Structure 1
């Protein structure tokens, strides 16, 4: 039901019939899980001790902040989500959650997560979390995403901040080591999303989102994917050069990086007009495995090093 308000505009008085699962979906749990994991690695590898309970609260606050970003993204992007096959069933475009509800939910969780992180750890970490939410929602979602094919390149910074936030929550500082973790995710983001954009270019075209394949073409996108894969392979080894990561980590990083380059090479050699897009789909899947495995090995390497030093 709608009424006409004093301003002459229609006001929607409906109340959605959303269930708990719809609000969980609004938080983008699959994206949030990777954000939380990389933040935990940043926290766990930081060279300082933190109370386990404080660490748990910090990770939960970062998770809530990431979810808030997802909710605000879905609120603003409801119009383009409604015309894309992979997003049309999301809670807002499907009508299960009203736009105003998503906005209020996202704003509340944003404020709650930042205040909680600041109170339990430090305000540098809280400030980084607040900036990450702002960057993702305002800089990326509201501006870059609909304006430039470099949207993912610049906007990828939002997904790269979590390990820095975790590191700052423990140390109260930003260091070279945490910047390297940021760079790994920042450089990984373009080839990861451009691989997706190659086999979902029709969706982005219908939505009017200027993703690289739709603007620069398939061949240019494939060349850029390969160039970024080389950078990812190199930067992935840097924790063994500039921090305390071991040679075991370095060896695993080299193997994982070589795999990233190999899958990107297959995309580069993919015949133009190949509608199966199997190499692009394979790269997209491998890129998720790459980032998860790389950070898992870095975490294990750090824990082994600490426990080994303690035992010695």
Structure 2
């Protein structure tokens, strides 16, 4: 019986740990950071890649755990979050706070081993997400603007980890992911509007699922694609993109823009969900194309 009980409990503990740190989101952030590192590194150091992956996971895990501690009462009101470890009663606030605090300390230490600038940006990301973005979500739609800063840090963090320097190249990577945040989160906010409303969160720029929000989604999608193509013109230092890769990214952007216009036309949850997934595909494939473009040019 004890063996059966142990086998029942362990998966729940693991599942709760994954949930409190939002493992899937953390893995996507690590992916962005590693992509940025490969773009910035002249010689790839796999020890640094490992440290960046660990530090990145700890950084995101800390932010998410603090977020769930702060929003525990609000999470209990929303369908998509009411089964999280704290509102469901499977994890205490104290335990979650300890996890978040340890992850913060360990994450900054690990990133500091890479270089101090990387650790600094990691610390800024945790602070902005936890102390500014999270409280503002119930106050103003401008919270998405604040949240876009920590959300945009991972891609450029990898370049900083490779170079110990912030310049036009990581600045460009930052701007790509910064502008991408808006159509991504507004699509998510539109899709889950009713659930967010139950929690008292203001995510859409106009506060409503209307033409004004849809137009802003279209505009920020266009800006995202335009900024993504700037490296094609050779004005972003060592960050360069060949015209062929530029065309591929333009095609991806047109696909994302298609769903943005479709949302303007339909104004429904289904299309918002499609746009949200299209945005995830866009940023993931963009990062893959950027990295492959660099190494194919080196090999050729």
**TM-score (structure 1 length as normaliser):** 0.87
Checking the alignment, whether the CA contact within 8 Å between 2:206 and 2:213 is kept in structure 1 is: no
- Specify the alignment match of 1:210 in structure 2: 202
Report Cα offsets for 1:166-220 as digits up to 9, x if no partner: 1111101012111111111111111111112112111111111122277245222
Number of aligned residues? 287
Answer yes or no: is 1:70 the counterpart of 2:59: no
The worse-fitting range, judged by mean Cα deviation, of 216-225 and 20-29 is 216-225
- Specify the alignment match of 1:108 in structure 2: 102
- Give the drift of 1:65: 1.1
CA distance in 2, matches of 1:130, 1:158: 10
Answer yes or no: is 1:185 the counterpart of 2:177: yes
Distance 1:105 1:47, change over 3 A: closer
Residue among 113, 123, 136 paired with 2:129 = 136
CA distance in 2, matches of 1:55, 1:281: 33
- Give the drift of 1:73: 1.0
Checking the alignment, whether the CA contact within 8 Å between 1:69 and 1:133 is kept in structure 2 is: yes
Greater Rg, structure 1 or structure 2?
1
Structure 1 vs Structure 2 CA RMSD: 1.8
Residue among 246, 250, 256 paired with 1:260 = 256
Alignment of 1:115-154 (within 5 A): 115-119=109-113, 121-142=114-135, 144-154=136-146
Answer yes or no: is 1:54 the counterpart of 2:31: no
Checking the alignment, whether the CA contact within 8 Å between 2:35 and 2:287 is kept in structure 1 is: yes
**Displacement over 6 Å in runs of 4+:** none
Checking the alignment, whether the CA contact within 8 Å between 1:65 and 1:110 is kept in structure 2 is: yes
- Give the drift of 1:49: 2.3
- Specify the alignment match of 1:34 in structure 2: 28
Alignment of 1:1-312 (within 5 A): 19-119=13-113, 121-142=114-135, 144-212=136-204, 215-241=207-233, 242=236, 243-270=239-266, 274=268, 277-308=269-300
**TM-score (structure 2 length as normaliser):** 0.90
The worse-fitting range, judged by mean Cα deviation, of 24-33 and 216-225 is 216-225
Query: Structure 2: where are the runs of 5+ without partners?
Result: 1-8
